[in-house]
Amino acid sequence: MSASDQLEFRVAIRDALAEELERDPSVIFFGEDIAAAGGVFKATPDLFERFGRERVFDTPISELALAGAAFGAAVTGLRPVFEVMFGDFMGLAMDSLVNQSAKFWYISGEQHSVPLVVRSAVGGGGRFGAIHSQIHGTWFQGVPGLKIVCPSSPAEAKGLLKASIRDDNPVIFLEHKRLYSVKGPAPPADEVLPLGQARLARAGEDLTIVALGKGVADALAAADALAEAGLSAEVVDLRTIRPLDLDTVLDSVSRTQRLLVVEEGPRTGGWSTGLLGQVTERGLHDLDDAWIVATDETPVPYSPTLEDAFMPDAAAITASVRSRLGVGVA
Amino acid sequence: MGSSKTGTSEGTERQARYIDAYARMLLIRAFETAIHRLFLRGEVHGTTHLYAGQEASAVGVCLALEPDDYVAGTYRGHGHALAKGTSPVALAAEMLGRATGVCGGRAGSMNVIDLEHGLIGCFGIVGGSIGAALGAALSAKRQGRVAVAFFGDGATNQGYFHECLNMAAVEALPAIFVCENNLYGEFTPMSAVTAGGDIPARASAYDIPAQSVDGNDLWAVEAAAREAVDRARSGGGPTLIESRTYRHYGHSKSDPGAYRADGELESWLERDPLRLARERLLAEGVSEEILATVEATVEEEIGAAVDEALAAPYPDPGLEQASEFRG
């Protein structure tokens, strides 16, 4: 891999937005500090200068108004993308997303869909404390009509964000803060990935580890460590919480007979619990074992020692597999 | 007497417009009377919030709109839909939960959507219409259209109201915020829960031109709406109109309105918007015969609409091919 095709995650986000703004004049992008300032995570610089304030604009700190504006714009011909800076702020936008955007296609008798995307930075590890570190996907996973996407790498981020902007339905797009500075191979030009199709990130025979977002890199690192101990782990990058690609997970489990789901968040009400339940419902005959590595049932702590212990990482995944499956300490 | 042929013809055209508007108000009243009866018979389900008494508000505003302008209504939205052009048959069928309803029976009384007529939705959450219209105004600005939000006095205490008025003003969007102040938020008088009590003053704080009008006077509402539409279309940004009116029924079908002071309803019935419009049309020379014909025609139309809706089939759960997603 040459240095030139190393793409930074935050640049992948910016490139996806730029390409879709360029391709489709109905795409607009707005949010707090996203235009002139280029975003607090520097994910959206230069878009304002390039596309002008009619298409890319800063807004008041009014998350409910942003969500309402995106909904109303989406049902009248635009394809809005808006940023809610930290996922934790999505509670403020919830009425419009849940009661307006998510339900419109169905309750209108399919008169019109709601093509919008709401991007947010999510997740722990940034020492931001309990109210700037949550992953809000699970707040929305029980709402029919919403798609929830969580990319795991720069190439995935670009292809999935482009897909989300082109999708005719409301999409909640989760960008893990710990990924913004990660670099990886650039995707093929114009690659648009499917929404609702999980990706086999690593093939293996003894165990399936399902993860998404930052968790995929952790699972891959754990799989490397486990391989040294003689255990072959398959890693599935789920990509979307809703729709849930159960078939890919079932297919993997039918070959490995063991399932570990890794979630950065509490298991109660988590996507991991839902996935495990559905795998059990449909694939119990294939299962020798199934369990979850999740966080404690507390808010995300601030202190570095507490937060590091709270977050599932490669070491935690490796340790859990070793103890659960009795894999010898290498 | 017209001073020229043109003047006479303009006068006649103008008169015809208001006769049509009166007919539209009557249509809403007759529709709500019918829905009330159907609710008591168990044909309309859940709950319903009747618009009777507020007709001049929706009809007056929509008189100033073009067919492709956008309207967002409330859960008291039958009047908003009918004023914007929704078919009474399709609307009645929706209330009755029938497959031929404007939303196929999936929406019901509180959530009607009719994009063909620019109705981007009626919203079951207080204030929801304001957010929807803000967004529609983003599109409308590019399309040379305007977007109207109808909402009640109760909504002026929601985050939607303050966040969206501010953003509409900052972006100078072609939005018209129509607050139908009917004095009660559900069962509670506005005065008990609304600090300051002055709704236009709230808009003024956001530098949005605002005025109060007699919401039972079709002509007054229309004039205010025209001014707002002209401002919006010419790039002058949003306007707030407080339309002071009154609902004849309680908040919803579970509310007999027992909290109203003695004589309050009666005094508002004196100023029934239909009565005011009828008196003015008569004073302007429209004949009793013409008005009687209009009234009989509307009664007949609603009777036929209800019959047609009642004869329509319910959606068959076995045939529903609903998907949560498009595509």
Backbone φ, ψ for residue A90 (5° rounding)? -70, -20
pLDDT of residue A131: 96
pLDDT of residue A328: 65
Helix, strand, coil percentages for chain A (3-state, nearest 5): 40, 20, 35
Neighbours of B103 (CB within 10 A): 22
- Rounded mean pLDDT, B242-253: 92
Which one is catalytic: A112, A132, A176, A285? A132
- Rounded mean pLDDT, B15-25: 97
Neighbours of A296 (CB within 10 A): 12
Place of tokens 């996806």: A16
- Rounded mean pLDDT, B108-137: 97
- CA pair distance A17, A56, nearest whole angstrom: 10
Neighbours of A200 (CB within 10 A): 14
Min Cα–Cα distance to chain A from B122, Å = 10
Residue type (1 letter), A202: R
- CA pair distance B168, A65, nearest whole angstrom: 10
* Facing residue for B106 by CB, picked from A64, A78, A106: A106
pLDDT of residue B251: 86
CB contact under 8 Å between A169 and B101, yes or no, is no
pLDDT of residue A4: 55
Closest C-alpha among A233, A155, A166, A164 to residue A196? A164
Q: pTM of the full predicted structure? A: 0.96
CB contact under 8 Å between B106 and A108, yes or no, is yes
Closest C-alpha among B201, B205, B215 to residue B243? B215
* DSSP H or E segment with residue A294: strand A289-295
pLDDT of residue B255: 86
pLDDT of residue B6: 52
CB contact under 8 Å between B107 and A104, yes or no, is no
Q: Tokens at residue A77, please?
A: 């011909």
- Taking CA atoms, A184 is separated from A157, A179, A212, B59, in Å, by 11, 10, 16, 59
Closest C-alpha among B109, B226, B238, B220 to residue B167? B238
Closest C-alpha among B85, B245, B229 to residue B148? B229
Place of tokens 């019935």: B269
CB contact under 8 Å between B133 and A75, yes or no, is no
> Minimal Cα distance from A111: which residue of B?
B115
With contacts defined as CB-CB under 8 Å, which chain A residues touch B111? 103, 107
Give the pLDDT confidence of B182-228 residue by residue, as tens digits: 999 888 999 999 999 999 999 999 999 999 999 999 999 999 999 99
Query: What sign does the dihedral A140-A141-A146-A148 (CA atoms) show?
Result: positive
Question: Annotated catalytic sites of B, by residue?
Answer: 247, 251, 259
pLDDT higher than 90, residue B157: yes
Average pLDDT, chain B: 95
Which of A100, A118, A195 to mutate: most B Cβ within 10 Å?
A: A100
The Cα diameter of chain B in Å comes to: 66
Q: Indicate the pairing of strand B184-185 with strand B188-189.
A: antiparallel
C-beta of residue A55 within 8 angstroms of C-beta of residue A81 = no
* Facing residue for A69 by CB, picked from B103, B116, B135: B135
Per-residue pLDDT of chain A (330 residues; tens, 9 = 90+): 454 579 999 999 999 999 999 999 999 999 999 999 999 999 999 999 999 999 999 999 999 999 999 999 999 999 999 999 999 999 999 999 999 999 999 999 999 999 999 999 999 999 999 999 999 999 999 999 999 999 999 999 999 999 999 999 999 999 999 999 999 999 999 999 999 999 999 999 999 999 999 999 999 999 999 999 999 999 999 999 999 999 999 999 999 999 999 999 999 999 999 999 999 999 999 999 999 999 999 999 999 999 999 999 999 999 999 999 998 654
- Rounded mean pLDDT, B162-174: 98
pLDDT of residue B257: 86
First and final C-alpha spacing in chain B: 61
pLDDT of residue B88: 98
DSSP secondary structure letter of residue B114: B
